[in-house]
Every structure is written in structure tokens, then in C-alpha cells.
Amino acid sequence: MGIEEKLPSGILLTSVEKLSNWARKSSFWGATFGLACCAIEMMAAGGPHYDLGRWGMEVFRASPRQADLMIVAGRVSQKMAPVVRQIYDQMPEPRSVISMGVCASSGGMFNNYAIVQGVDHIIPVDVYLPGCPPRPEMLIDAILKMREKVMIAPLGPNGRKMLDQRKADGKMPLVAAGAMPSSYRADPARRAQWEQAVREGREEQLRIENWMKAQNHLRDGGA
Amino acid sequence: MGVMDPFKGFGVTFSHMFRKVITTDYPFKPPVSAPRYHGRHILNRHPDGLEKCIGCELCAWACPADAIFVEGGDNTDEERFSPGERYAKNYQINYARCIFCGLCIEACPTRSLTMSNEYELARDNRQDLIFTKEQLLAPLLEGMSKPPHAMFLGETEKDYYLGALENPGTSAGAERAPLSDVDVLGSPA
């Protein structure tokens, strides 16, 4: 990279950065990397009922060299760990990793000698997705959250430093990228609710409250 | 091989154009999950706002993934968080471990811990996946006040637990919705 390294962060390339991030997020190609039961849900998410093709990522590439997203779907055994690392190393930059399911995120219920206690011991992870296995909606939610994160990612070799600088300058949005549930982000009314709740620091209470309101058998005091 | 066979074959494919689309419109119209779908947990409250959790740690013992951490504390008459002797001073559920099996809610003796159907839990770091007591507790509804405070429903645990059985409508948290005729999306129910 050339001139943008010499300039203060984010002067020259802001629009190019947006364009490049948009292009990047609009068509993620995943590496085929199912390790266990989560892979079944990942396949379901790619099928017509959930249809990842709506976000341009219904193809799962068999070659890591053509993939820019790795969905680690399932528990990673100690024996599989070097393979995971190698596939990650073979992917071209910029690349992202979703750790799908509790086993990949932290080892889950397999707290034993055979399982790596979280795939982030081996490779950097962008989004952790809990659930055992997560339903396809949860995977789509995680992917949408990762797309948000990609949209704010600065361009260039000093990306991380620039991001930290922006955080220090307070130029980040009120709701951090990847913190709002996708169904809230998609609906303007609920989105406003969530933003208000973030200001009050009660977003999890809002979630419970809205869930309770949606339960027909609980309405009017459960009468 | 007849001359018409390719047309027949393509005809089958083409007829799919007129079928109903089965794709769910997920982030825009989230599907209604089954009523007993195992989602994130809720720590419920009594109708006066006191916490139902008594800090017994049975949920933590039942958990096959060791995802729950409970630290009990003693209630005093000056500082009371739950009816009875004990309350949960510290309560955490690690969603990076939780497998949503529901053994914890089966183990809960006071129906303090229940599950909602919320599933959008993905975060970008492991720290945010550990839900603390503040995040898990049900919101305060009308008529509830924030603990610590005295027992408003009666002096004994019987007034709380048995009264709730006679009149389940007064029990709070996951068992009672805010009195509202407006549903979540803002349109009248």
C-alpha cells in the first residue's frame, strides 16, 4: 500500500473504503468446513427454505483459495486443529471466521482432552455464535452481524490501528456493529426501541419485554 | 427417447416457477418459533418485584456444560432480595457453553429460571456472551419495585409460593406479560 499509510487515518480513502467493504460484504463465499452436527444446520441455511443466496453466499467453495469466509461448524478436535489452521492460512486476505455453535466457540459441553476449548485458540474469530446447534436463523443473524462489522472495517494494512483510533475519537455508532439482533435492525420501529434501550443500558430487558408481549397466553396477566 | 421428452423435462422445471415461495423472510419477518423453543433464559420475579431465585445452585449442578455460575448470599431484614433466607448474589450464564438443553429449568425448585424463545445471541467476543444477573432478570412490570425491599405479599414464603399457585396470573416475569393491548410490532393486537 502507498499513499494512505502516510496520510492521517481515513482522509483519502474513506469512500473507496466504503465501496470496497460493500463489495466485500455483498458476496461472501464460504469455505466448506462442516465438522459436526452444526454443519447440518449450515447446509439447511444454504437450502431454499432459508436461502443464504439472498445475501449472495449460497455457494460454499471446496477450495479455501476461493473462499473468504470460514464457518467453523462443529467441535474441533486436537487432531483437526492443524487442519483448521492450514485451511485458514490458505484463504486469501481479507478473510473472516464465524465460530458456529458452542463447541467451536468455547468447547461447549465437551470440556475434555480431545476437544480444542474454543477455535480462537487457533485462528482469530470475528463472530461467536452460540447454540447447540444454532438454528439456521441464528447463523443468518451471525452472518448479518459479521457483514456489519465488515462495513466498518478500515482499509489498508493499519486497519486495526485505525479502528482503535476511531473508537478513541468516539466516531463509532451508538450501537456497536454486531450488537443488535438482526430482527431488530431490520425493523425501523424495533430498531429505534433498541437504540433507546442501549442509551438506558437495558437492551436485554427490552428483549424479554418484547418476547413477553408476543406471548398470547401471557397477555392480560395470563388470565 | 421421444421428441417431446426434453420439453416434458423442462416443463417439470418450469412449473416450479408458479409454486409458492417457501423461503422464510427471516430478518424482516422473523418466524414465530414453537412456544416451548429453548431460547435464552429469564430470571423471574415475584409480583412485588422480589427475585424468585433463592441461590440454591441446583441449576448449576444440573448443567451438563458447566455454563451456570451462582453465588448465593444471605438475605437480611434490612436488605432483602428474595423471600426466604438466601438469594443469588451473583448469577451468570455463559452462552458460549450453554447448549439450551433445559435441564436447569427442570431443576429450578421455584420456577425462577425459565427460558424465552429469543435466539439471536451471536456476538463478536466471548465476554459479551456471559450474561450477568442484570441481563437475565425480567424487567420490572407495573406494581413491582426494585429489590432490595421488604416482602409486600406477606410475611412467609407460603404467601409467595402458595398464593402464586392459587392465582398464577399474579406471578410475574415469564409468566405475566405487561398489561398491554399493543403487540411488539406496534400494531393493535
Reported ipTM: the value is: 0.84
Give the amino acid at B20: K
What's the whole-number average pLDDT of chain B? 82
Q: Does B66 touch chain A (CB under 8 A)?
A: yes
Distance in angstroms (rounded) separating the CA atoms of residues A112 and A137:
29
Note the pLDDT of residue A19: 87
Among B43, B45, B69, B120, pick the best mutation site for testing chain A contact (most A Cβ within 10 A).
B120
Q: Is the Cβ pair A220, B23 closer than 8 Å?
A: no
Beta carbons within 8 Å of A118's beta carbon, 6+ residues apart: A99, A104, A105, A106, A107, B96, B126
Instruction: Determine, for residues B177 and A178 on separate chains, whether the beta-carbon distance falls below 8 Å.
Output: no
**Cα dihedral angle (A52, A53, A58, A64), rounded to 10 degrees?**
-90
CA-to-CA distance for A183 and A198, rounded, in angstroms?
16
Neighbours of B50 (CB within 10 A): 27
Interface of B with A in 98-117 (CB under 8 A): 98-101, 116-117
φ, ψ dihedrals at A69, nearest 5°: -140, 135
A181 closest CA partner among A193, A173, A166: A193
* B165: contact with A, CB 8 A cutoff: no
Query: Which chain A residue has the Cα nearest residue B32?
Result: A214
Closest CB to B24: pick one of A49, A129, A222: A49
Tell me, what's the pLDDT at A11?
Answer: 59
Between CA A155 and CA A158, with CA A156 as vertex, the angle to 5 degrees is 110
| B81 in Cβ contact with B148 (< 8 Å) | yes
- Crossing angle of helices A203-214 and A188-200, in 10° steps, is 140
Up-side HSE of residue A125: CA atoms within 13 Å toward CB? 25
pTM: 0.85
* CA distances to A50, B5, B11, B21 from B14, in Å: 22, 14, 5, 14
Could you list the beta-strand ranges (E) of chain B: 41-43, 68-74, 86-94, 113-115, 130-131
Distance CA A21, CA A128 (A): 21
Nearest in space to A115 (alpha carbons), one of B178, B82, B179, B65: B65
Would you call A215 and B185 a contact, using CB atoms and an 8 Å cutoff?
A: no
- Tens of each residue's pLDDT in chain A, 223 residues: 566 566 665 556 677 888 888 988 888 888 878 898 999 999 999 888 998 889 988 888 888 999 989 999 999 999 999 999 999 999 998 889 999 999 999 998 999 999 999 999 999 999 999 998 999 999 999 999 999 988 888 776 677 777 788 778 877 778 888 889 999 999 999 999 999 999 888 889 899 888 888 876 665 554 4
Cα–chain center distance at B89: 20
To the nearest whole Å, the CA of A2 is away from the closest chain B CA by: 31
Given this model, what pLDDT does residue B167 score?
47
For residue A183, give the nearest of B30, B131, B174 by CB distance.
B30
Q: Do A208 and B118 touch (CB under 8 A)?
A: yes
